[in-house]
Amino acid sequence: MLSILIWLPLIGAIFVGFYPNLTAARTAALAIASATLLITLSLFFKFDPTTSGMQMEEYLPWINEIGLSYRLGVDGLSLPLLALNSFLTWIVIYGSKADIQRSRLYYALILVVSSVVAGAFVAQNLLLFILFYELELIPIYLMIAIWGGEKRTYAAMKFLIYTAISGLLILLGFFAITWLSGSSGFDYNINLEAIASIPLPTQVIILTVLLIGFGIKTPLVPLHTWLPDVYVEASPSVAILLGGVLAKLGTYGLVRFCLQLLPDAWSQLSPVLGIIATISVLYGALTAIAQTDIKRMVAYSSIGHMGYVLLACAAGTKLSLIGAVGQMVSHGLILAALFYLVGVIETKVGTRDLNALNGLLNPIRGLPLTSTLLIIGGMASAGIPGLVGFIAEFLVFQGSFTVFPILTLLCIIASGLTAVYFVILLNRTCFGKLDNATAYYPKVTWTEHTPALILVALIFFLGIQPSWLLRWSEPTTNAMVASLMIDAPSNSKIIVLSYPEAKVNQVLLP
């Protein structure tokens, strides 16, 4: 079942890329992506949300000499991310034009990325994860370098080098964990006790190496320097993939391989991580305010939102971890919507400059629906209640407050700053008076609207019905918390409730 998620897009990519005289590359890719999405959705019916362990496991021995095996599995952490991946792939393919230059290569690469990311999310062997993690390198590199903006070659190379280094560090960390825990292979079901018996200072070193590796990918301040260039130079659809899906590889890695494998060291480092997270959040928000390029602004906002995830993980309470999973998904959706809309505006208006954009909400000559959607996206990103961003951020703050009161407060302030820069963005672009002389923008067709409409609908829906987002992860994250030993004053009000829907309601309606 899980293999299909990897192999279907991959075979599809080969088909799209190599089938002779294929004219309808987009249609074929869309069909494959739709099939993948349906299969992913069907996983939710098979998934048992009451247990914390791996489900639907698949195992094939592969290469014993290096401890590599083909072991797949899914749990409450990876399932929402898998769905996010399939969904955003579908959105990206749907939102791309059929006559994009070198269309076959383009769609083939998107499918490869989708397959590889799915593989990384379900891989239950450390080396297998590395394999998928590195595999994504070249397709993304090519996608940035071929279909990017002006400085795309530079950005692509920057991405390549940063990611290659992060892969190197992660590999080193995995080597160290596996070797020191004395297990013969890289399978993920490593004896946790064996890991716990590694001396704590060594564990901390390993964790640091892994943190830097995944931190580059996420990205966290101060490892984020590749992000603005890459996100801005990449075409909107690639930026959606990068920010919506690939950044999740970083946060997923933080939870799966740092928090879960090295809980002791994680508890040890958690105050530091909390501080780094807060710095990321503040930095992201403050730099975003200073931007005049709307795409760059969204890119920086992404740094801040990823910081919330780290804050939640560092706090390591039941609530905050649920919030972290929620934040990963909600950030994926919101960022995708924002990047998509920014892309639409750029193609129609021809600029991303805040000083040039004006009055897009004008119902006749502007882009009314696009700007409306942009406003909703901005609100969601700023954490306005009723939208999915609020749910996730609220859970994160509520969960982390008991552990890091000051840091959480700072983050809440930063989330207020998020509202500031989105107000700036929306105010400049959507409101105001449209220039009569120049502004006759081409109409946005319904096909072009559809991806954003779907995304915004989902943002609304999950904002109103958060349990659909959160119920899958609860047992998994609870099990993670059990292995952590961050001393926090117990918050009885939250912990007593076990069923997620009730809990969320309890939190939301005090």
Partner 1 sequence: MDFANLNVVLNAGVILPESIIVVSLLIALVADLVSVKTSKWLPAIAISGLLGAVTVLIWQWTNLTEPLAFVESFNGDKLSIIFRATIALSSVLTILISERYFLQSGIAISEYITILLSATLGGMFLAGADDLVMVFVALETLSISSYLLSGYAKRDPRSNEAALKYLLIGASSSAVFLYGMSLLYGLSGGYTNLHAIASRLPLGGLSLIVAMVFVIAGISFKLSAVPFHQWTPDVYEGSPTPVVAFLSIGSKVAGFALAIRFMVTVFPMVYEQWHYVFVVLAIFSMILGNVVAIAQTSMKRMLAYSSIGQAGFVILGMAIGTEAGYASMVFYMLVYLFMNMGAFGCVILFSLKTGTDQISEYSGLYQKDPLLTLCLSVCLLSLGGIPPLAGFFGKIYIFWAGWQAQAYGLVILALAMSVVSIYYYIRVVKMMVVKEPQEMSDSVKNYPINPTWTADGMKPLQVAIVVTLVFTGVAGIASNPIFTLANQSVHDTPFLSASIQNQALKVELLKQLADQEPVSQLPALEPTIQE
Binding residues for partner 1, rule: CB under 8 A, are: 62-68, 127, 130-132, 134-135, 137-138, 141-142, 145-146, 153, 156-157, 160-161, 164-165, 168, 171-172, 175-176, 179
Which one, 157 or 279, has the nearer CB to partner 1? Answer: 157
Could you give the CA distance from residue 1 to residue 36 in angstroms, rounded to a whole number?
11
Which one, 17 or 432, has the nearer CB to partner 1? Answer: 17
Which one, 171 or 424, has the nearer CB to partner 1? Answer: 171
Closest by CA position to 200, among listed 151, 266, 150, 143: 266
**Residue in the block written with tokens 């590694």:** 198
Could you give the CA distance from residue 21 to residue 195 in angstroms, rounded to a whole number?
54
Nearest distance, CB of residue 239 and partner 1, angstroms: 18
One-letter amino acid at 55 equals Q
Which tokens in the block code for residue 452? Answer: 């954003």
Residue 350 CB coordination number (10 Å): 12
Closest by CA position to 429, among listed 417, 441, 416, 447: 441
Nearest distance, CB of residue 150 and partner 1, angstroms: 12
From residue 80, give the alpha-carbon distance in Å to each of 61, 317, 330, 461, 479.
27, 19, 10, 15, 17
Q: Which residues of 204-214 are buried (b: 16+ CB within 10 A; e: fewer)?
A: bebbbbbbbbb
Nearest distance, CB of residue 168 and partner 1, angstroms: 5
Which one, 1 or 165, has the nearer CB to partner 1? Answer: 165
Nearest distance, CB of residue 145 and partner 1, angstroms: 4
Which one, 138 or 502, has the nearer CB to partner 1? Answer: 138
Closest by CA position to 185, among listed 77, 59, 79: 59
Nearest distance, CB of residue 22 and partner 1, angstroms: 13
Closest by CA position to 173, among listed 254, 55, 273: 254
Handedness of CA 223, 229, 232, 238 (dihedral sign): negative
Which one, 161 or 272, has the nearer CB to partner 1? Answer: 161
From residue 310, give the alpha-carbon distance in Å to each of 80, 185, 218, 315, 374.
18, 29, 9, 8, 27
Which one, 70 or 441, has the nearer CB to partner 1? Answer: 70
Peptide bond into 442 cis (omega under 30): no
From residue 67, give the alpha-carbon distance in Å to each of 55, 179, 187, 460.
22, 11, 7, 45
Which one, 130 or 456, has the nearer CB to partner 1? Answer: 130
Nearest distance, CB of residue 260 and partner 1, angstroms: 22
Which one, 127 or 303, has the nearer CB to partner 1? Answer: 127
Nearest distance, CB of residue 123 and partner 1, angstroms: 12
From residue 206, give the alpha-carbon distance in Å to each of 209, 226, 259, 264.
5, 24, 12, 12
Could you give the CA distance from residue 322 to residue 366 in angstroms, rounded to a whole number?
40
Which phi and psi angles does 181 have, rounded to 5°?
-80, -5
Which one, 141 or 401, has the nearer CB to partner 1? Answer: 141
Specify whether the CB–CB gap between 183 and 248 falls below 8 A. no
Nearest distance, CB of residue 154 and partner 1, angstroms: 11
Could you give the CA distance from residue 342 to residue 234 in angstroms, rounded to a whole number?
12
Nearest distance, CB of residue 5 and partner 1, angstroms: 17
One-letter amino acid at 96 equals S
Give me the DSSP letters along 173-192.
HHHHHHHHTT-SS-BS---H
Which one, 160 or 337, has the nearer CB to partner 1? Answer: 160
Which one, 159 or 472, has the nearer CB to partner 1? Answer: 159
Nearest distance, CB of residue 131 and partner 1, angstroms: 4
Nearest distance, CB of residue 166 and partner 1, angstroms: 10
DSSP state, 61?
A: E
Nearest distance, CB of residue 232 and partner 1, angstroms: 18
